[in-house]
Structures are given as C-alpha cells and as structure tokens.
Structure 1
Amino acid sequence: MSYTISDLERISGIQSHTIRIWEHRYKALVPHRSQGNTRVYDDGHLKKLLNIVSLNESGYKISKICSLSDQAVEELLAEQQSNLSDDKLTEFYLSRLIKHGLSYHESEFNSIIEEGFQKLGVAQVYRRVIYPLLVRLGIMWRKNHICPAHEHFMANIIRKKLCAATNDLVSPDGDSPTWLLFLPEDEDHEIGLLFADYILRLNNQKVIYLGSKVPVESIKNVLSTLKVNHLLTFLVGARLTNSAQKYIAELSALCMSAQIHLAGNQQVITKLKHIGHINCLKSLDDFEFTIQHPNHI
C-alpha cells in the first residue's frame, strides 16, 4: 500500500510537521518521491513509524530510537511492553496492534489485548484502545489503505476476546432488567454491540443477544414472547436519512412498553425526526449512566 504523510498522521497520531522533523534531523524515514516530488510512503515506512511511536511512548528519545537497528528496536519493544505506566499504554498498544494486524501476526495481536485486559480491564481497553483502533481502521479502509482482509482479521480477534470476557461473567439474578440487543438487517459491525453486552452483564443486567443483520420480524417475535425492558441497537453505517427514519418508525411501532436506546453514526442519528421517545447515546459515558440511572432517561 502507499500512504501520504497525512495518512501517516491519521494512522499513527503523530502530526505531519513532527514526522518531517524526524525525517530531517534523525533520518527516521526516507520516503519515496512521486513525479511531482511529493512524499510517498509504503507499508515498511508505516511499520517503522509505529515502532518509533511505541518506543517514544516508553520514554526513549527519537534520536536514540533512530540510531538502532530493526532487530534492536524489536527487542526493546518486547522488553518495554510489560513496563509501561497506564497513562503511556494507549498509544503503545494502538501502534503495536496496527502493526501486527497489518502483518497478520495473530499471536502477537492476541497477547497485546490480553495484557491490556490484565493491566487496565476490559472496559478501559475498549474505551482507550479498541475503539480508537476501530476508528483508525475505518479511516484506513475508507482510503483503501488496508484491504478488507486486514479489517476482518483484527475485528475477528477482538470479537473473540470480547465474547470470552463476557462468558466469564456471572449470570445476573432473576429480578434484573432485560435488554434486547441487535443490529438492523443491513448492519454487521458487531463489536460495539458485543461490548455493550459485556457492560450490561457486568452491571447485572439480563441480555438477549441477537447479533447482526436481524430482521424486524425477529424482534417482533421476541417482544411477543418475553417481557423486555430495553432495546439497544446501533446505526453504524452511512445511510439515507429516509431509510433510517423508516426503520426507526417500524421499531417504535413494535416497542410500546420497552425503552429504545440508539447509538452509532451521529451524522445519521441527528437528522432523524420524531425520536424524542428514544434515548440517543452519544458516548460510552451516556450508556453507563443510562444503566446506572434508568429513571433519568
């Protein structure tokens, strides 16, 4: 793949101006040049930059990092991963996950997430690492800088980790509120829904998890069979406002006795009309507040 310096900025979190300084002073990267003399970078440049970012977050000076061989850099990364303070872990994990994901290194990708879960907990890793990672992957995918295989590879590992963490939780008691979780028929980005499942169960809520691509008729079937207190769905992908409005109207007609909670693409959700009866979640904080203070909805 080829990247512009702006692409590197979005993926690595390092400003273009800083990348240029590192190139000039320390020969951190030696980009290719287009016919118009524009900087062009490849996968090797991206991985090297992500390594530099990781070690810099560990406290190493850029001049020191750029003087090391590739093997010495890898050895330092392996050594430093277990010694970082919590406030330095986020960017370190992000850069390592992207690097190993692009290389299809499953064991390394797994070990980083596992270590994060142990050090920070599942909720903090999702908030500080997994969600920002998904945002960056979305940017890379939309600009054709990763192929769908990369995105699926990383997403499937994250999905398995969240499912395993959820399975380790104790089942809630009989008096807990019941939540129905699902994605619309044309939605399959399930990681946010899986994390919601984890958070709800962590807070002693009952969950009926239907997953992605759920027809409205299936939701109707559940509601006619069981008492459900809350419905949670996500509108993640880009869609026409009319289409989203029609779907929400169908959902509202089914849910006369359950509270609907809606999260996802705010550019779509903010254009919807007649949704005063729906609890629109703009952030993870909103979601957690809703769980803990149901009477304030």
Structure 2
Amino acid sequence: MPGPVAFPIGFVSLHTGLSTHVIRAWERRYHAIAPQRSANGRRLFTQSDIDRLILLRRVIQNGHSISYIAGLDRAKLVELAETTSPPAIQPNKPTHADSKMSAGIAPTEIVSHSIEAVAMLDGKALQGILQQAAATFSRQALIDTIFCPLMEQVGHRWSDGSLRIVHGQLAAVVIHAQLIGLLSHPTGDAAEKPCLLIAAPAGQCCYLGALAVAITAQDHGWEPVFLGFNLPAEEIAAASSIPGAEMIALSITCRVNDAFMQDELIRLSDLLDNGCPLVVGGRASHNYRRSIEAAGGENCSTAAELVSRLE
C-alpha cells in the first residue's frame, strides 16, 4: 500500500500560516513535530503534521509558550486551544505600553499598544511589544497584521497633526531592526535557491516594504538580495547581471512625480536586455500599473499576489 501523502515545507507554511523558519525551529529546538525526509534530505509533512501545527499555533495564540506545549498530545492541545482566558505573559522589564502585552493578544491591540509607545517616543517599549509578537505570529502575519497597519496609523496621525515626524522616524527605525532580524535567520543553502533582486527605485526613500518583500521571498524558497533604495534604473539593471538572478522586485510605497516614475520604469525595461522578469509592489504601485505593464512587468499590490508570482 502507498504511504500517506507528504507535503513540502512551503506548502505547509501556506496552509498553517507559520513561516518555514518557525516550523524548522519547532522541530529542531522543541521536537514538536517529526517530519519525514526525502532521499535528498528535504522535509516532508503528512496531513497529521499540518493539523498538529495548526493546533499548536491556536494554543500559542491563547497565551501558551511553544516550550510548554511542544510535547503535549492532541487531546491536551485541543483542551488548551478551547481555553478562552489566556494567561498574560509579561516582558522581563515592563515599561509603559509593553506592560499590557500578552502572547495571546489580538493584532489590533498590539498595534494599539505600539501606537502608545510611539506617541511616548518609547523605543524600548515598542521593541519589546514587537519582539513578543514575533514569538507568536508567523513572519508574514507579523508584516501583514502588525507592521503595515502600525506604519499606516503612524502616517495617518502624522497627517492629522497628532504625531510628529520624529514619531514616524522612531517607529521606522524599530521596525527596520525587527525586519533585519527576521531576515538574518539562515534558511538553508543559498546556492540551491533562485535569486530575487529587490530594490526601491529612484524617488523612493522608504525601504521597509522592500525588506518585507525579502522576507516573503525567503519564506517561499528564494534567496533575496536587497540592493538598496532610491536606485536609478541603470543601477538596478546593472545588478541584474548577477549570476543566478531570476527576478527583480521593486517596492513603490510613496507616490512621487508620476512622469518621472513612469520614465524610470520604461528605462529599466529598455535596459533589461537579459529578459529578467520584473514585479512591482507596494502600497503606491497601483498608481503606476499601466506603466508597469507597458514596461513588461507585473503589478503585485498584495502579499498574496507576490506569493503567487514567486511560486
């Protein structure tokens, strides 16, 4: 008889909402699951493994640590998953807003507490809040439900005058550090992965979105290379000659001079003589959809669209 159907780690990540890094860590450090191995050493998961990972995530969102629940059987995990009053977990040195954090708190409340820390210019508290969130949520969920909404709220409050530029700068610095920390975790042999070049083009000085793209790409089997921000088309095209470069991703988060941005996209298309595919995302990218498509690129304005393109 054939054995149970086995799934690769990328498939499991998509269906559980857990990053591949978290799945590997739960296996290696806590022995929460025991996936099979293919002939070439790659992890293969059964449907039972997937169900257990989903259950573990639910229990963690109820306030329990992976170190405590990793060895529990299914019945106990189901019991804990149905618990509606999670125990609060306080940081080692609570200060201001981070004293309100618990591992089972909803993303909207995490963002609310983060805004309080930003308003008080308490970078240490904000760092503590986001670090606790990182221990609970997958990397993509962290970006989609916490980092992005937080920066959007900071931007709105700067616009209405309730926050100043310095508040936005502090939030950006702390989130930048969090993204770099997430990106620095090794995820296997880079030589075996396709290379994705990532940049913020000329006129774009915010690169948090580009770093988020790098993390998403890393979670889906790519080796991201972040080239930088405010890069002219000539520099991005020159980088495409890197051996193994299979795609270029641009992050456009701010709407600048439309004619200038359109010209940059067309010039980049003309300079890419090696046929390297181009994808463009970011919250302002939809404003340039026609120019992106005219340049032979694809506008991926959401994380789901980017993931679909990467796969």
Shorter-chain TM range is 0.5 to 0.7
What's the offset of the Cα at 1:225? 4.5
Q: Equivalent of 2:303, from 266, 284, 287?
A: 284
Structure 2 Cα separation of the partners of residues 76 and 165 of structure 1: 23
TM-score by length of 1: 0.66
2:211 counterpart letter in structure 1: L
The within-5 A match list for 1:9-158 is 78=99, 81-82=101-102, 84=104, 88-158=105-175
Identity score, percent: 13
Per-residue deviation at 1:270? Answer: 3.5
CA RMSD in angstroms comes to 2.5
**For 1:208 and 1:173, how far apart are their aligned partners in 2?**
11
Q: Which amino acid aligns with 1:238?
A: R
CA distance in 2 between partners of 1:145 and 1:113 (Å) = 22
Q: Distance in 2 between matches of 1:182 and 1:77?
A: 33
Deviations 1:209-266 (A, max 9, x none): 1121122232232223534210001222122332221111011112231110011214
Letter in 2 for 1:262: V
Taking structure 1 as reference, are residues 212 and 186 closer, same or farther at Cα in structure 2, changes over 3 Å only?
same
Query: What do residues 160-200 of structure 1 show as CA deviations (whole Å, max 9, x unaligned)?
Result: 11101111122444232111111112111111111111121
Q: Residue deviations 1:39-74, cap 9 Å, x none?
A: xxxxxxxxxxxxxxxxxxxx9xxxxxxxxxxxxxx9
Q: Cα gap change, 1:258/1:248 in structure 2, threshold over 3 Å: closer, same or farther?
A: same
Aligned residues between the structures: 217
Report SS of the residue matched to 1:183: strand
User: Which runs of structure 2 are paired with 1:236-255 in the superposition (5 Å)?
Assistant: 236-255=253-272
Taking the aligned partners of 1:116 and 1:245, their CA distance within structure 2 comes to 38
Which secondary structure state, in structure 2, belongs to the residue aligned with residue 261 of structure 1?
strand
TM-score normalised to the size of structure 2? 0.64
Which amino acid in 1 is paired with 2:109? F
- Note if contact 1:90-1:129 (Cα within 8 Å) is conserved in structure 2: yes
Q: Does 1:229 align with 2:246?
A: yes
Aligned to 2:66: none
One-letter code aligned to 1:221:
A
Letter in 2 for 1:125: L
Query: Where does the alignment leave 5 or more consecutive residues of structure 2 unmatched?
Result: 1-83, 85-94
Equivalent position SS for 2:193: coil
Name the SS of the counterpart of 2:240 in structure 1. Answer: helix
Aligned mate of 1:269, from 288, 296, 303: 288
- CA distance in structure 2 between the aligned counterparts of 1:260 and 1:273, rounded to whole angstroms: 9
Structure 1 residues 241, 271: CA separation in 2 closer, same or farther (over 3 Å shift)?
Answer: farther
Q: 3-state DSSP class of the match of 2:254? A: coil
Higher percent of residues as helix: 1
1:128-151 deviation line (CA, Å, top 9, x unaligned): 111111111121223333211110
Q: Would you say the 8 A contact 2:203–2:256 is kept in 1?
A: no
Aligned mates of 1:169, 1:291 — CA distance in 2: 19
Counterpart Cα distance in 1 of 2:96 and 2:132 = 18
Which letter does structure 2 place at the counterpart of 1:183?
A: A
Over residues 77-129 of structure 1, what are the superposed CA-to-partner deviations in whole Å (9 max), with x where a residue is unaligned? 83x52263xxx511110111001011111221111101101111222111111
User: Could you tell me whether the CA contact under 8 Å between 1:172 and 1:205 is conserved in 2?
Assistant: no
What is the letter of the counterpart of residue 128 of structure 2? S
